[in-house]
């Protein structure tokens, strides 16, 4: 035998991680089709060939990222829903955290942008599209449920809960995309502006 297994596994895991992270950066910025394999490879100072040692194609990387994005998003939603907070606290907390996330330029923010970008484009792999169609509704449903709860105790406005959930997520997505363009210069707005759409005064 040669190098021990753990060592190799570690190298492998790290490379995969590097590739995913850089790819995420480019996909979020330029979209799938405008991102070249060489963008990713040269940003990591590795050969293009190596990327194909880890992934079959550009699209496979993309699809894996979309999968992870929804896993994290949905996990966060499940977590939020299960917290011992009032509906009002949950929504206020979610908006605050999401805005905070957008200000930092980290993977978490890019995942969010990736979803927004991917959702906006028809030019994505079929598998990724399927994931989006399957998973995208969950976060909308969670927010709608929380809002419905809040309407029962009178702390939320009485617009249609689904419409409110729609506006919740599309507003966040709109901000994510704005941030993608203006990058550094972006400063998140006061969370209270957004919460005022939902809360009874």
Partner DNA sequence: AATTACATTGAATGAAGTTTCAACCAATTA
Partner DNA sequence: TAATTGGTTGAAACTTCATTCAATGTAATT
Question: If binding is defined by CB under 7 A, does position 105 make contact with DNA?
Answer: no
Question: Across the chain, how many H-helices and E-strands are there?
Answer: 9, 0
Select from 49-57, 132-140, 168-176, 180-188 the region that touches DNA (CB under 7 A): 49-57
> Does 126 sit near DNA (CB under 7 A)?
no
- Looking only at residues 17 through 46 of this chain, which bind DNA when binding is defined by CB under 7 A? 35-38, 45-46
Q: Residue 130 binds which one of DNA, a copy of itself, none, with CB within 5 to 8 A depending on kind?
A: none
CA gap 86, 29 in Å, rounded: 37
Q: What distances in angstroms separate CA 115 from CA 46, 103, 128, 179, one per listed residue?
A: 27, 17, 10, 14
Q: Which residues of 127-143 are buried (b: 16+ CB within 10 A; e: fewer)?
A: ebbebbeebbeebbebb
Residues 103-142 that bind a copy of itself (CB under 8 A): 113, 116-117, 119-123, 132
Q: What's the number of CA atoms in the CB half-sphere (13 Å) around residue 25?
A: 14
Please pick, from the candidates 8, 121, 137, 170, the single residue that binds DNA as defined by CB under 7 A.
8
Binding stretches for DNA (CB under 7 A): 1-5, 7-8, 11-12, 15, 35-38, 45-50, 52-53, 56-59
């Amino acid at each position: 035998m040669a190098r021990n297994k753990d060592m190799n596994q570690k190298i492998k895991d790290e490379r995969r991680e590097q590739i995913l992270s850089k790819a995420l950066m480019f996909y979020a910025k330029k979209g799938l089709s405008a991102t070249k394999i060489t963008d990713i490879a040269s940003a990591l100072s590795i050969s293009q060939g190596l990327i194909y040692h880890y992934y079959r194609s550009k699209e496979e990387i993309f699809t894996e990222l979309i999968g992870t994005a929804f896993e994290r998003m949905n996990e966060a939603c499940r977590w939020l829903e299960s917290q011992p907070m009032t509906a009002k606290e949950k929504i206020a907390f979610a908006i605050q955290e999401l805005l905070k996330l957008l200000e930092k330029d980290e993977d978490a923010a890019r995942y969010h942008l990736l979803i927004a970008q991917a959702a906006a484009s028809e030019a994505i792999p079929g598998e990724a599209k399927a994931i989006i169609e399957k998973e995208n509704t969950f976060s909308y449903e969670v927010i709608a449920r929380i809002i419905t709860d809040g309407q029962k105790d009178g702390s939320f406005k009485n617009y249609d809960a689904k419409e409110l959930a729609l506006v919740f997520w599309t507003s966040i997505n709109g901000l994510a995309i704005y941030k993608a363009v203006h990058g550094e210069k972006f400063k998140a707005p006061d969370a209270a502006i957004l919460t005022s759409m939902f809360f009874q005064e």
